[in-house]
């Protein structure tokens, strides 16, 4: 045997030994050597690969951290959509889920698998010939971001899967990336020592870490993973519970707290048990995922909308803590909505420290009898948004007073009013500084006018210096005015003016969305731009004309009419038009297919050859219309894979259903 063969065998043996120790440590949780001994093995491998770089392979344990930062994260189309789960919050809803499954499966026997719902980031891993080739985020379920280099740094993800006669070599694995409580605390301690940003909770830090451009930083933050899904075309998979066992054989980490349950009552006991145990876990969970075990039955049950019928997420009740209510302040939104906010004595709840929480409106405060100085119960709605959910009246201080809403706006002093039938108060002063800031932020955002350089800080400067009072003032700003502002200068001033100018050419629907008309989101703005070719025609539209558009109801129609009847709004629109902002729909160019023009399409399920947005764009470019719901007015329903309730409704209404191939032919 020559030298090169000896070296090759030695390198291969080192790699196999390191992989085996990774498996024992991360999968079996039974390390057989010390960290020092492990490091010695890795150092031997690194030294040999440095001496013989031609022998380095992508699946070598030494290749977890790439040398070059990632400049961008390309989009990846998932081979099978990553569906989201429907949520349930009570045992009664679990019973309803069990009833639906039973009705759909008829006389068939079925059982469930109950798994802890890790509070992390869902990812997909693709393996070819046993080697990890691509890793991606869930994204919108149809496509995500390619974060392969960052995922390689996670030692719980094998770069080469275990092989065996009964194990697949070409497959997809899905799992949850998370950070343990211990690693999260250690990372924040390092951040604090370096004088850098402190993270709020472990889930957000895991999500942010996965999108860092430098894999070396990702490697230092010690992310972990549990896997929960296996898909392969190499063999027939029969049972989800057995798939989890196969994932372990392949070298992946599966959460040990997973149980095969014969009935929904056993599932409920599992949920109750882990709700009580969760504070002691070394990582965060926010519920239990319940899945039908049989893969054949999963396929038979199918999916509805974006959620499978064979699985559901049981969310634990929100964690609650008590703290003192120091004050109630009022915030003014961009359309004048007055929202009460609780200022709290800082308290840790649901993974982060909370010092403010929403109080919704006057009725909410009155119904709970919330008073300044009270000891209040704070929880996180969906473990995300903090809110005050109750009062401990036994701890109420003497001489406490009921909270009363003021008569005037806290920002501008203008009288506020509460419309009949609504829960919120409003400030009607169009020039109210808080509303001005909010409207300009909305107008400048990426999905509206996308004005680069016009963030919150710059808007505050412009408003505070009385340089702008509304969005039309943006187009009258002078370079020297901006350059004189704190932290700006000539270059920043010019960049801002260039960004404002660039927005003038954006489509009419983006301008409509940017105007901030109440209830007019992106979709509604697009509908209005499609049906009214200019701002003049929209401004003169009647309630009936507006409501005749599918997707426009009385509330939206009234809001649009109210906006254009307001003198301030009319003057604003006139000034924007004079500034050169697009106020007309551009005429469609290209050929128009007579079989598509004027026809209404609904898209459902995942398409293979194009994204849903691409399909919408092609249909609209030929004069077709897109609707989000199926009705008698729908002409075609385009059904991709995993089509849900929209397809069923189309069948019931007798609407023509197109496959993706048929749609492409039509286009």
The closest alpha carbon to 190, from 150, 155, 151, 220, belongs to 220
Place of tokens 């940017």: 514
Whole-number Å distance between alpha carbons of 239 and 109:
13
Task: Say which of 50, 71, 117, 479 is annotated catalytic.
Answer: 117
DSSP string, 427-477: E--TT-HHHHHHHHHHHHSTTTT--TT--HHHHHHHHHTTS-SSGGGGGG-
The closest alpha carbon to 323, from 342, 343, 344, belongs to 344
Phi, psi of 192 (to 5 degrees): -65, -40
Whether 465 sits among the annotated catalytic residues: the reply is: no
- Alpha carbon 483 to its chain centroid, in Å, reads 37
Within 8 A by CB and 6+ apart from 490, the residues are 479, 483
Burial class (CB in 10 A: 0-12, 13-18, 19+), 106: exposed
Whole-number Å distance between alpha carbons of 441 and 448:
10
The closest alpha carbon to 287, from 319, 263, 248, 260, belongs to 319
Phi, psi of 504 (to 5 degrees): -60, -25
Q: Give the strand order in the sheet containing 171-178.
A: 131-137, 121-128, 171-178, 224-232
Phi, psi of 590 (to 5 degrees): 90, 175
Whole-number Å distance between alpha carbons of 67 and 50:
14
* Residues 135 and 73 sit within 8 Å (Cβ to Cβ): no
Phi, psi of 72 (to 5 degrees): -155, 165
How many Cβ atoms from other residues are within 10 Å of residue 334's Cβ? 18
Angle at 345 between CA 342 and CA 346, to 5 degrees: 105
Catalytic amino acids?
117
């Amino acid at each position: 045997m020559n030298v090169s063969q000896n070296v090759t065998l030695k390198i291969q043996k080192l790699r196999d030994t390191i992989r085996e120790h990774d498996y024992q440590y991360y999968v079996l949780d039974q390390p057989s050597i010390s960290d020092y001994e492990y490091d010695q093995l890795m150092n031997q491998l690194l030294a040999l690969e440095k001496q013989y770089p031609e022998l380095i392979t992508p699946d070598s344990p030494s290749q977890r951290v790439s040398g070059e930062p990632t400049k961008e994260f390309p989009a990846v189309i998932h081979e099978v959509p990553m569906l989201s789960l429907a949520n349930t919050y009570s045992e009664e809803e679990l019973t309803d889920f069990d009833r639906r499954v039973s009705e759909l499966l008829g006389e068939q026997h079925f059982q469930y698998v109950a798994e802890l719902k890790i509070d992390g980031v869902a990812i997909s891993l693709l393996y070819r010939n046993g080697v990890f080739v691509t890793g991606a985020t869930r994204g919108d379920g149809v496509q995500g971001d390619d974060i392969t280099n960052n995922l390689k740094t996670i030692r719980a993800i094998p770069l080469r899967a275990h092989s065996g006669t009964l194990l697949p070599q070409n497959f997809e694995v899905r799992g949850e990336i998370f950070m343990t409580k211990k690693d999260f605390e250690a990372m924040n301690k390092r951040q604090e020592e370096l004088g850098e940003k402190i993270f709020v909770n472990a889930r957000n830090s895991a999500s942010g870490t996965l999108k860092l451009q430098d894999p070396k930083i990702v490697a230092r933050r010690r992310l972990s993973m549990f896997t929960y899904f296996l898909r392969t075309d190499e063999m027939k998979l029969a049972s989800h519970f057995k798939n989890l066992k196969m994932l372990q054989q392949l070298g992946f980490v599966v959460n040990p707290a997973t149980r095969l349950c014969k009935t929904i009552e056993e599932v409920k006991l599992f949920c109750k048990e882990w709700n009580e145990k969760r504070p002691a876990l070394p990582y965060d969970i926010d519920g239990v995922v319940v899945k039908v075990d049989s893969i054949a039955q999963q396929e038979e049950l199918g999916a509805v909308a974006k959620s499978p019928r064979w699985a559901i997420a049981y969310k634990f009740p929100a964690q609650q803590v008590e703290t003192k209510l120091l004050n109630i302040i009022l915030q003014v939104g961009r359309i004048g909505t007055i929202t009460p906010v609780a200022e709290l004595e800082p308290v840790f709840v649901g993974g982060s420290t909370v010092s403010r929480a929403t109080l919704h409106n006057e009725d909410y405060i009155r119904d709970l009898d919330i008073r300044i100085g009270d000891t209040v119960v704070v929880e996180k709605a969906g473990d995300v948004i903090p809110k005050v959910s109750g009062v401990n009246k036994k701890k109420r201080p003497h001489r406490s007073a009921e909270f009363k809403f003021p008569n005037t706006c806290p920002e501008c002093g203008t009288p506020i009013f509460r419309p009949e039938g609504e829960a919120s108060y409003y400030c009607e002063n169009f020039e109210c500084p808080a509303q001005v800031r909010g409207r300009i932020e909305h107008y400048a955002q990426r999905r509206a006018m996308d004005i680069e350089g016009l963030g919150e800080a710059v808007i505050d400067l412009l408003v505070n210096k009385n340089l702008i009072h509304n969005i039309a003032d943006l187009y009258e700003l002078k370079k020297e005015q901006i350059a004189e502002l704190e932290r700006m200068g000539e270059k920043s001033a010019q960049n801002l003016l260039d960004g404002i100018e660039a927005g003038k050419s954006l489509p009419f629907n983006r301008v409509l969305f940017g105007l901030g008309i109440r209830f007019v989101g992106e979709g509604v703005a697009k509908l209005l731009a499609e049906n009214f070719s200019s701002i003049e025609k929209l401004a003169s539209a009647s309630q009936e004309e507006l409501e005749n558009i599918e997707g426009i109801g009385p509330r939206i129609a009234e809001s649009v009419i109210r906006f254009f009847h307001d003198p301030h709004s009319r003057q604003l629109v006139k000034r924007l038009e004079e500034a050169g902002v697009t106020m007309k729909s551009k005429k469609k160019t290209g050929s128009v297919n007579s079989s598509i023009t004027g026809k209404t399409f609904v898209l459902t399920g995942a398409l293979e050859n194009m994204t849903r947005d691409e399909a919408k764009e092609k249909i609209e470019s030929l004069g077709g219309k897109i609707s989000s719901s199926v009705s008698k007015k729908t002409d075609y329903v385009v059904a991709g894979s995993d089509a849900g309730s929209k397809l069923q409704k189309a069948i019931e209404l007798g609407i023509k259903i197109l496959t993706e191939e048929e749609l492409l032919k039509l286009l």
